[in-house]
Amino acid sequence: MTAVLFIHGFPFDHSMWRHQVAAQSHRRCIAPDLRGAGNSPGPESPAEYTVATYASDLIGLLDGLQIRQAVICGLSMGGYIAFEMLRSHSTRVRAAILCNTKANADTPEAKRDRNVMAELARQRGAAAIAEKLLPTLLSRETFEKQPQVVDEVREMITRAPVTGIVGALHALRERPDSTSLLPRIRVPVLVVAGGEDQIAPAAGMREMAGAIPGAAFLVVPAAGHLAPLEQPAPVNAAIQQFLEQLG
């Protein structure tokens, strides 16, 4: 049975995948903290954080676990890392699940925003990043009906190491455009969008899925940018069906 590697987004940690790991307890699931996130140490220099170094770290992890191929499941920045694995380590990827992500690189305006956020993190810490990002991360329904999820996300961001936040922002700002990669992907792909995602809108994700040969596409209602945590039931069902089809 193929292992599943869950790759978290920014500025989160492995715990954002807790529902999916629990649902796939019969499989071999790997849900690490990326360098500088959660309990994983990371270098001080932001230049040492790139989608390529994240991908290399994960390949090293798979090597250490003697896993030749894995299904990779990435959200947001985790999706950018998944694209890098598909580009540079394609033989290690059995299939891919792309959640709440996009293929294009940052615009000049977005790059400037990354710089501003990095300075905010340096000056005021992770708690300030949590308060800045929360309004855009979750759906209106999550805010209204799932205060425990709001609290969980706030706490997850607040405990993120500042060096890792600043490093991840560098990786996000400098990531390559993956649009040209999409039609060249030759493994099964499932694309999962949040119906209320402000950061990676469903319409753009539908277009992205359409550029990947044979990709399946799902919109999760009442979910923002963290569909696996906001609406785990439909996300788990889609992942389960996708994995079963792989055999």
Summarised one tens digit per residue, pLDDT across range 147-186 is: 999 999 999 999 999 999 999 999 999 999 999 999 999 9
H/E stretch holding 192 reads strand 189-194
How far is residue 6's CA from residue 97's CA, in Å, rounded to a whole number?
9
Token pair for 186: 């030759």
Q: Which of the following CATH numbers is that of domain 3-246: 3.10.20.30, 3.30.1490.20, 3.40.50.1820, 1.10.10.10?
A: 3.40.50.1820
| Residue the block writes with tokens 């990435």 | 74
Write down the mean pLDDT value for the chain: 97
- Average confidence (pLDDT) over 66-70: 97
Following CA atoms 131, 135, 140, 144 in sequence, which dihedral angle do they give, to the nearest 10 degrees?
A: 20
Domain ranges of the chain: 3-246
Percent of the chain clearing pLDDT 90 (strictly above): 99
**What pLDDT band is residue 145 in, cutting at 50, 70 and 90?**
very high
> In the block, which residue shows the tokens 């030759």?
186
Query: Among 67, 89, 86, which residue's Cα sits nearest to residue 4?
Result: 67
Looking at residues 61-86, what average pLDDT do you find?
98
pTM of the predicted model as reported, rounded to 2 decimal places = 0.97
Per DSSP, the residues of 67-115 read -S-EEEEEETHHHHHHHHHHHH-GGGEEEEEEES--SSPPPHHHHHHHH
Query: Could you tell me the pLDDT band of residue 101, with boundaries at 50, 70 and 90?
Result: very high
Q: What is the pLDDT of residue 75?
A: 98
Taking only the tens place, the pLDDT of each residue in 1-22 is 889 999 999 999 999 999 999 9
Q: 22: which 2 tokens?
A: 């629990």
Q: How far, in Å, CA of 101 to CA of 22, rounded?
A: 23
pLDDT class of 243 with cuts at 50, 70, 90: very high
- 199-207 average pLDDT score: 98
Compute and round to an integer the Cα radius of gyration of the chain.
Answer: 17
pLDDT value, residue 247: 75
Extract the tokens encoding 179: 């649009």
- Residue 53: DSSP 8-state: H
d(CA 13, CA 33): 5
| pLDDT tens column, 204-221 | 999 999 999 999 999 999
The answer for residues whose C-beta is within 8 angstroms of residue 44's C-beta and 6 or more apart is: 163
Give the pLDDT confidence score for residue 1 in this predicted structure: 82
